Structure 1
Amino acid sequence: MHYAETNIVPDALEAEYPQNINFEDLPNRVNNIKDDLLDIINGKPKSWFRNLALSIYYEVGPRKARSPMVLMGRIDHLRSGYYGPKGEMIIAKTLSRLFLETNILTSENSKPQTPVEFLHEVLIPETIVRLISQDKKNLSLKEARKIMRESSDYGLYKYGDD
């Protein structure tokens, strides 16, 4: 048997991760949390993912923080949970339309990150955490972050090859 069938899928069933995600409704769900994301862009409330990025930028500097080796060190925190790459792509397109194409997210309010880095390293994971919180009936964001990390292998397996 394949590793995913003997380990990843049974673990996902036991953890009660969604077995089917309505990807067509995902842009609407993202739109519904737009105000929360605008607050994050404006620095209120504090964002766990923004704090992670800023701590690295301040520790090693922007140039080194953007290097592949440093990025790989925090990639585990940025994976898309049970939404997988398919969900992440839909979320990225929706956020790009909402915040990049409208110039709401700018180099001024994203610095020292670029707007695209901010989108990928802050807004996408913050969105996924909020969606997981909703899926799990308003679970705390801390617990939703934990589920995001723990369910990433399942998301990659289930929604990684479209």
Structure 2
Amino acid sequence: GARWMGSIQSQFSNFDKVQVGYYGGQGFSIIRQTLIDMFPDDSTCALFADVKPFDFQIFLDRILVPEVGKLLTMQDQGLYGLNGATEAVKIMRESSKYGALMFSDDDREEG
């Protein structure tokens, strides 16, 4: 219920700073491009019409890409469920500097 939502909200409050943890900028770009390829332009508006106040690009960068990064981290680390998701977010936060150094993507604009 409310406690679970509070936990999710607290995780999300700094999620845009996390990006994709140890995957770094290169991982961010690969995940982002893969998601863009999955949603052709003609279907994007209909699928994401209700993500206000975000436009699709902000929704993609701030929500979808980090969520995929979290799921990939969970898979990498063998984590499951809500506790696994919380641990994955912790790992992403703790490894974000490593990812930025080892897998930087200088072509990606910071947003």
Q: Which has the larger radius of gyration?
A: 1
Structure 1 vs Structure 2 CA RMSD: 2.7
Unmatched runs of 5 consecutive residues or more in structure 2: 107-111
Asked if residue 85 in structure 1 is aligned to residue 25 in structure 2, the reply is yes
Q: TM-score, normalised by structure 1?
A: 0.50
1:76 partnered with 2:17: yes
Counterpart position of 1:135 = 76
Is 2:90 the counterpart of 1:146? yes
How far the C-alpha of 1:108 sits from its partner, in A, is 1.6
* Structure 1 residue 120 corresponds to structure 2 residue 51: no
- What letter matches 2:38 in structure 1? L
| Paired residues, number | 95
Please tell me whether the aligned partners of residues 26 and 104 of structure 2 are also in contact (alpha carbons under 8 angstroms). yes
SS in 2 for 1:97: helix
Bigger relative contact order, structure 1 or 2, given CA contacts below 8 A and separation 6+?
2
How far does the alpha carbon of each residue in 1:83-130 deviate from its partner, in whole angstroms, 9 at most, with x for none?
010011000000111135352464522111001110100000000000
Query: 1:100·1:115 contact (CA, 8 Å) conserved in 2?
Result: no
User: What letter matches 2:59 in structure 1?
Assistant: F
Give identity over the alignment, percent.
35
Equivalents in 2 of 1:152, 1:124: separation in Å? 14
Query: TM-score, with normalisation over the residues of structure 2?
Result: 0.71
1:103 match: 43
